[in-house]
């Protein structure tokens, strides 16, 4: 049995985000022997719906508003039992996976979802960025505000993927790409033997950000994303040129 001190040491050693974030981001299954570390704005609604269905052994039309509610999820979080999670994390039989996305389209998707299409979210998040609630910020305003924060202070939807996923310490079995979402998730479903629970029809948070790059990015926005998210570009092998982002409309069902 691990003590509180050894538990804290384990998470400090293996994960960059604070423990409450780790408990939200990490979804794992003792039954199917996998650990999924989610990245907000990288298809996580679709992925968790699939995994929750498999855990319940049903194909459901679940209310997508509940997919992100950890209290109602059948998927385990580390806090479910820290000692058992640590044993699973260290065991070679557990399949660890995550998904990443080109920083240009991930940031634009977060902006469109949280500040353009969702008024409630705009009112909630604007004060956290020092943005007046009396107006909708431009994409440039949004990026400039993010630049003033550290990764630990940023909202989870635009904290860097390198910070959220801790790729230097978590040895992932597979890193899926949002740009090839269907193929990547199908591969994981096949590896886990859960393909009959997989559906790729969810478009709840789709923003088709990949199609809108030219409309929102000028030289200044490009420079800001390159500067703020340099580690994401380097850690996950994305090129710095924004003009080669694939059209995501048909590749990725959830934005």
Q: Is the pLDDT of residue 4 over 50?
A: yes
The model's pLDDT over 42-57, given as tens digits with 9 standing for 90+, comes to 999 999 999 999 999 8
User: What pLDDT sits at residue 66?
Assistant: 83
User: What pLDDT sits at residue 212?
Assistant: 83
User: What pLDDT sits at residue 243?
Assistant: 77
Distance CA 215, CA 252 (A): 20
Distance CA 177, CA 60 (A): 25
End-to-end CA distance of the chain: 41
pLDDT interval class at 251 (50, 70, 90)? very low
Segment holding 184, helix H or strand E: helix 181-192
The model's pLDDT over 140-166, given as tens digits with 9 standing for 90+, comes to 999 999 999 999 999 999 999 999 999
User: What pLDDT sits at residue 250?
Assistant: 33
User: What pLDDT sits at residue 35?
Assistant: 98
pLDDT interval class at 60 (50, 70, 90)? low
**Tokens standing for residue 42:** 């990288």
Mean pLDDT rounded to a whole number for the chain: 90
User: What pLDDT sits at residue 214?
Assistant: 86
Q: What are phi and psi of 49, to 5 degrees?
A: -60, -45
- Cβ atoms within 10 Å of 71's Cβ, excluding its own: 5
User: What pLDDT sits at residue 252?
Assistant: 41
User: What pLDDT sits at residue 186?
Assistant: 96
Residue appearing with tokens 């679940």: 62
Distance CA 194, CA 86 (A): 24
Whether this prediction's pTM lies above 0.75 is answered by yes
Q: Is the pLDDT of residue 32 over 70?
A: yes
The model's pLDDT over 190-248, given as tens digits with 9 standing for 90+, comes to 999 999 999 766 544 555 666 788 899 999 999 999 999 999 999 999 999 887 665 44
């Amino acid at each position: 049995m691990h003590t509180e001190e050894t538990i804290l040491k384990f998470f400090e050693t293996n994960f960059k985000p604070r423990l409450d974030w780790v408990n939200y981001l990490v979804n794992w299954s003792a039954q199917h022997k996998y650990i999924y570390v989610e990245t907000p704005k990288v298809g996580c609604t679709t992925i968790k719906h699939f995994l929750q269905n498999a855990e319940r052994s049903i194909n459901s039309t679940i209310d997508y508003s509940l997919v992100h509610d950890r209290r109602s999820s059948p998927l385990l979080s580390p806090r479910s039992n820290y000692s058992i999670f640590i044993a699973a994390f260290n065991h070679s039989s557990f399949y660890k996976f995550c998904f990443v996305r080109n920083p240009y389209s991930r940031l634009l998707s977060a902006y469109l979802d949280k500040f353009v299409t969702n008024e409630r979210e705009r009112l909630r998040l604007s004060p956290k960025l020092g943005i007046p609630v009396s107006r909708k910020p431009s994409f440039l305003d949004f990026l400039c505000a993010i630049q003033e924060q550290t990764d630990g202070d940023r909202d989870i939807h635009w904290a860097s993927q390198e910070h959220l996923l801790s790729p230097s310490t978590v040895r992932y079995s597979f890193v899926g790409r949002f740009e090839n979402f269907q193929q990547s998730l199908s591969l994981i479903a096949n590896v886990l033997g859960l393909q009959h629970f997989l559906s790729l029809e969810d478009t709840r948070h789709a923003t088709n950000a990949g199609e809108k790059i030219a409309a929102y990015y000028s030289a200044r926005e490009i420079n800001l994303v390159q500067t703020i998210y340099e580690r994401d570009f380097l850690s996950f092998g994305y090129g710095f040129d924004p003009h080669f982002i694939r059209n995501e409309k048909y590749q990725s069902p959830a934005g």
